[in-house]
């Protein structure tokens, strides 16, 4: 699973009515939640093909080499599973209530605190039960206590220098993080952080990392920024979003 640029899904197509763009963003959000919650492969595929890409049940059945009845059944089960996991208020409703200017301010505050390595400032922006995940790794952190330890020992330990650029992914606010590489004399792509808000606080950070270290033990994760960028992941996560491959 990877984040998707808004333009690839037509989320920034202003020739489409605001209502239609809003409905599409809602569909993308549901599909993203479904993927994060690890729906079975068939249910995930059916949900995305039907709800996001707008394929008919017959077209999906032909693509997956199954029956229309099986597609409809998989879609029903997928919808039920997603409904049990999505919050009462969708992320799109939250973003609309905040407004573009306020969302921009919150993203800039997040980027500034990360750049300065200010753990307390970042944690203050998080909801009490906030979560930080790094798919496809099973490792994740939840709650301010765990996140304080993770940030202090990992990205904000003081061992790394950061720069950030704002972007958007899956119809949500996102931030591209670049880590300083002394040998290159530049900040190189590290991760694309997709932010989920609950009011003015960050409920989830889903970090898609553009590095491929071997192993998944704690020390590898802590030293993740020291590993070189993975060209394939940089192309998908940064090139696909029109983001630069390096910053001074």
Which domain-ending residue is among 30, 52, 83? 83
Calculate helix-pair angle for 57-64, 68-83, nearest 10 degrees. Answer: 100
- b or e along 104-126 (b: 16 or more beta carbons within 10 Å of the residue's beta carbon)? eebbebbbebbeebebeebbebb
User: Are 212 and 142 part of one and the same domain?
Assistant: yes
| CB contact at 8 A, 167 and 240 | no
**Residue 6 structure tokens:** 């808004």
Q: Is 152 helix (H, G, I), strand (E, B) or coil?
A: helix
Instruction: State residue 58's pLDDT score.
Output: 95
Residues 71 and 119 in one domain: no
| Mean pLDDT for back-to-back runs of 10 residues, the chain (248 residues) | 66 58 61 62 86 88 94 90 69 87 97 97 96 81 94 93 93 94 94 94 93 66 83 92 94
Do 110 and 200 lie in a common domain?
yes
Say how far apart CA 24 and CA 148 lie, in whole Å.
35
Our count of domains for the chain comes to: 2
Return all residues near 212 (Cβ < 8 A) that are at least 6 apart.
227, 230, 233
HEC string for 208-229? EECECCCCCCHHHHHCHHHCCE
Supply the CATH number for residue 48's domain.
1.10.10.10
Is residue 131 in a domain? yes
73 plus 129 within the same structural domain: no
Q: Are residues 36 and 128 in the same domain?
A: no
In a domain, 213, yes or no: yes
- The answer on 106 and 21 residing in a single domain is no
Q: What are phi and psi of 202, to 5 degrees?
A: -85, 120
Last residue of a domain, one of 39, 58, 83: 83
Q: What pLDDT score does 159 carry?
A: 93
pLDDT confidence of residue 11: 52
Same domain, 128 and 195: yes
Chain centroid to CA 109 = 18
56 shares its domain with 140: no
- Same domain? 112 vs 64: no
Domain membership of residue 246 (yes or no) is no
Q: Is residue 173 part of a domain?
A: yes
- 1 in a structural domain: no
**d(C-alpha 247, C-alpha 30), whole Å:** 33
Q: What is the pLDDT of residue 52?
A: 72
DSSP state, residue 37: T
Does a structural domain hold residue 90?
no
| pLDDT tens-place string over residues 158-188 | 999 999 999 988 778 999 999 999 999 999 9
What's the CATH number where 193 sits? 3.10.450.50
Angle between helix axes 100-116 and 91-98 (nearest 10 degrees) is 100
Q: Are residues 122 and 62 in the same domain?
A: no
Q: What is the pLDDT of residues 30-72, one digit of tens each?
A: 566 655 555 788 888 898 888 777 899 999 999 999 999 999 9
In a domain, 133, yes or no: yes
Among 60, 83, 106, give the residue marking a domain's end. 83
Q: Residue 80: is it exposed, middle or buried by C-beta count within 10 angstroms (0-12/13-18/19+)? A: exposed
Contact, 60 vs 49, CB < 8 A?
A: yes
Q: Is residue 209 part of a domain?
A: yes
78 with 107, same domain? no
Query: What is the residue range of 56's domain?
Result: 6-83
Is residue 180 located within the same domain as residue 215? yes
């Amino acid at each position: 699973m990877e984040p998707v640029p808004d333009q690839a899904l037509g989320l920034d197509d202003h020739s489409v009515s605001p209502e239609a763009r809003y409905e599409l963003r809602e569909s993308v959000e549901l599909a993203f939640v479904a993927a994060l919650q690890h729906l079975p492969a068939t249910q995930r595929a059916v949900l995305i093909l039907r709800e996001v890409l707008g394929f008919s049940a017959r077209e999906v059945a032909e693509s997956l080499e199954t029956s229309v009845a099986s597609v409809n059944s998989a879609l029903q089960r997928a919808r039920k599973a997603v409904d049990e996991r999505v919050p009462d208020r969708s992320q799109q409703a939250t973003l609309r209530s905040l407004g573009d200017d306020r969302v921009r301010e919150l993203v800039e505050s997040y980027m500034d605190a990360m750049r300065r390595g200010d753990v307390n400032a970042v944690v203050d922006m998080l909801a009490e039960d906030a979560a930080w995940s790094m798919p496809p790794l099973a490792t994740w952190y939840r709650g301010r206590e765990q996140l304080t330890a993770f940030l202090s020992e990992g990205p904000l330990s003081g061992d790394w220098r950061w720069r950030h650029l704002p972007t958007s992914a899956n119809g949500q606010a996102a931030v591209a993080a670049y880590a300083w590489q002394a040998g290159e004399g530049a900040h190189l792509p590290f991760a694309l952080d997709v932010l989920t808000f609950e009011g003015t606080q960050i409920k989830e950070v889903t970090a898609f990392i553009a590095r491929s270290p071997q192993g998944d033990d704690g020390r590898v994760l802590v030293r993740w920024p020291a590993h070189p960028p993975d060209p394939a992941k940089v192309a998908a996560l940064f090139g696909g979003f029109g983001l630069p491959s390096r910053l001074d």
